[in-house]
Amino acid sequence: MWNLPKEDHQNQVVPPGDYEYEYILCIGTCTKPELIKTFKVKITVQDPCANPTFSSPGANAPEYTITDSAKTFTLDPKYTIDPSWCPGELVIMAPGIEENVSVD
C-alpha cells in the first residue's frame, strides 16, 4: 500500500484515479528478447476525504441549559473528522439564539 502525504492530496499533485505503469525487466544487456519481460502495474489513488469519519459528543453528552450568553461550554468529546485535514462543515441549529452560538 502506498500512502501519499496529505499535501499531495490537498494540492492535487496526485489526483484520485487509476494509474497504469509499464515496467520492462531485462537480464544482461537487454539484447535478447527471451531475457526481456514487460509487466504492468495498476494503482488506484483514492480520495481520503471521499468518506471521512465523523465523531460528535453523541447521545450521552450532557445537556446544556444556557442562561448566560457570555459563558462558554466545552463539548466533550469534541466534534472530529478523520482525516483531520479533510474539509467539513458543522451546522448548529439554535433558533432564536444563533448570534450567541459559535464553534471553535
> 33 and 55 in one domain?
no
Alpha carbon distance 97, 68 (integer Å)? 12
* Parent domain of 26: 6-45
CA 35 to chain centre: 44
Q: What is the pLDDT of residues 21-74, one digit of tens each?
A: 999 999 888 889 899 999 999 999 888 888 888 877 765 656 666 677 677 766
Whether 57 and 94 share a structural domain: yes
Q: Which residues contact 69 (CB under 8 A, 6 or more apart)?
A: 97, 100
| Residues 43/3, Cβ–Cβ less than 8 Å | no
Q: Answer whether 0.85 is exceeded by the pTM.
A: no
Q: Does any domain span residue 1?
A: no
Note whether 102 and 67 are same-domain residues: yes
Q: What is the rounded CA–CA span in Å between residue 68 and residue 100?
A: 10
- Residues 36, 61 within the same domain: no
Same domain, 37 and 62: no
